[in-house]
């Protein structure tokens, strides 16, 4: 059973149409430009706190109505319930805050750790080795919660069933993956499209499932195709075949690229310290390259890919598979006779 809302909820329903979906509202965070970012976030803090209590109350009702035994929360702090097996999934045990609030990072870590301790388990999608990981100080800076375990990366592109084929044979030299909140997603969209005429590249822009975005495949020219979303197999092939991928530096997208053995040019969303940190951290490790949105230049990005390609990330041999963790849960609940699948 799936629960969620917004664009991520729509993606889940599209990807798993056979599963029951329950609407669980999540807070909508509005990001202000430049100097207005911090005041705008602070003004929303009471609503964010209230939303945690709201989702905790809602999930108790859902658990009771549907007789749920196991809850897996994707970084949502209120989705736990006493007397049920509750799992919290996050790579942000120690969030990165804007420079002016760096002194609050350790107190915030203590607060998050206390909330995580309300869960039976905390799964961190990364590796425990501080030298071979993707999240850096987001999950390796301070002592992890006592119920935490590192489970390796999670990606939609890992272990896809064989026998599935892509629905399109078109090969693209440049793949642009847009994601994140407005207005920044539209700003980046325009920035890249304005520069595309400078380079005669067959390009696909995956514009994200925006409410007022592109609703279907559009061939805007012989060289430019725009789509809102792609099936997994099409998405996988297009990213794998592209000479250059341009995307945000969100952690889920980074895990997808690593699972494909693919690098990219990262453009962190302005005003999101986590994305800015990941872009810098991974570029310093030689795995990706990045530029701030205001400084992005398509010609420079393509020249970088041709002349100074980054190293491929080598996954640790002793990678702990998340699927093995699910297997342990499966055995436990089969043994107790609490559920059949």
Q: Are residues 126 and 20 in the same domain?
A: yes
Work out the average pLDDT over 69-86.
92
- Same structural domain, 80 and 145: yes
Based on the fold, state whether residues 104 and 220 are members of the same structural domain. no
In a domain, 160, yes or no: no
149 & 6 share domain: yes
pLDDT tens-digit readout, 41-70: 677 677 778 888 888 999 999 999 999 999
Q: Which domain holds residue 23?
A: 2-154+319-336
The answer as to whether 33 is a domain residue is: yes
Q: What is the pLDDT of residues 271-282, one digit of tens each?
A: 889 999 999 999
Question: What is the structure's pLDDT at 199?
Answer: 85
Count of domains forming the chain: 2
Asked if residue 123 and residue 16 are part of one domain, the reply reads yes
In a domain, 166, yes or no: no
Is there a single domain that holds both residue 205 and residue 265?
yes
Residue 224 lies in a domain: yes
CATH number at residue 238: 3.40.50.2000
Q: Are residues 227 and 134 in the same domain?
A: no
Do 84 and 121 reside in the same domain of the chain?
A: yes
Q: How confident is the model at residue 215 (pLDDT cuts 50, 70, 90)?
A: very low
Give yes or no: residues 10 and 109 share one domain: yes
Give yes or no for residue 180 having a pLDDT over 50. yes
The three-state DSSP-derived secondary structure of the chain is CEEECHHHHHHHHHHCCCCCEEECCCCCCCCCCHHHHHHHHHHHHHHHHHHHHHHHHHHHHHHHHHCCCEEEEECCCCCCCCCCEEEEECCCCCCCCCHHHHHHHHHHHHHHHHHHCCCCEEEECCCCCCCCCCCCHHHHCCCCCCCEEECCCCCCCCCCCCCCCCCCCCCCCEEEECCCCCCHHHHHHHHHHHHHHHCCCCEEEECCCCCCCCCCCEECCCCEEEECCCCHHHHHHHHHHCCEEEECCCHHHHHHHHHCCCCCEECCCCCCHHHHHHHHHHHHCCCCEECCHHHCCHHHHHHHHHHCCCCCCCCCCCCCCHHHHHHHHHHHHHHHCCCCC
119 and 258 in a single domain? The answer is no
Same domain, 236 and 212: yes
Q: What is the pLDDT of residues 118-163, one digit of tens each?
A: 999 999 999 998 788 999 999 999 999 999 999 998 888 876 655 4
* 85 and 183 part of one domain: no
């Amino acid at each position: 059973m799936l629960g969620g809302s917004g664009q991520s909820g729509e993606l889940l329903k599209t990807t798993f149409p056979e599963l029951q979906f329950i609407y669980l509202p999540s807070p909508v965070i509005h990001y202000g430009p430049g100097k207005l970012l911090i005041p705008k976030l602070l003004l929303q803090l009471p609503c964010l706190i209230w939303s945690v209590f709201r989702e905790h109350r809602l999930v108790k009702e859902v658990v009771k109505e549907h007789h749920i035994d196991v809850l897996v929360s994707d970084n949502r702090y209120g989705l736990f319930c006493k007397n049920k097996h509750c799992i919290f999934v996050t790579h942000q045990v120690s969030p990165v805050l804007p420079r002016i609030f760096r002194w609050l990072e350790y107190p915030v870590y203590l607060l998050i750790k206390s909330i995580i301790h309300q869960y039976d388990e905390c799964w961190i999608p990364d590796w425990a080795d501080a030298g071979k990981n993707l999240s850096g100080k987001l999950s390796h800076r301070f002592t992890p919660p006592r119920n935490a375990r590192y489970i390796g990366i999670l990606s939609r592109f890992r272990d896809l069933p064989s026998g599935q084929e892509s629905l399109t044979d078109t090969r693209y030299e440049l793949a642009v993956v847009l994601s994140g909140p407005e207005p920044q997603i539209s700003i980046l969209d325009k920035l890249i499209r304005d520069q595309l005429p400078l380079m005669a590249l067959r390009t696909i822009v995956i514009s994200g499932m925006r409410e007022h975005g592109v609703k279907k495949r559009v061939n805007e020219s012989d060289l430019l195709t725009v789509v809102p979303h792609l099936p997994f197999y099409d998405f996988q092939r297009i990213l794998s075949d592209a000479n250059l991928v341009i995307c945000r530096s969100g952690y889920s997208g980074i895990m997808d690229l690593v699972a494909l053995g693919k690098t990219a040019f990262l453009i962190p969303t302005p005003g999101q310290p986590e994305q800015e940190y990941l872009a810098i951290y991974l570029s310093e490790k030689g795995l990706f390259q990045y530029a701030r949105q205001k400084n992005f230049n398509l010609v420079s990005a393509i020249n970088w890919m041709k002349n100074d390609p980054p190293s491929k990330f080598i996954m640790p041999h002793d990678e702990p598979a998340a699927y093995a963790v699910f297997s342990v849960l499966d055995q436990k609940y089969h043994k107790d006779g609490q559920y059949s699948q």
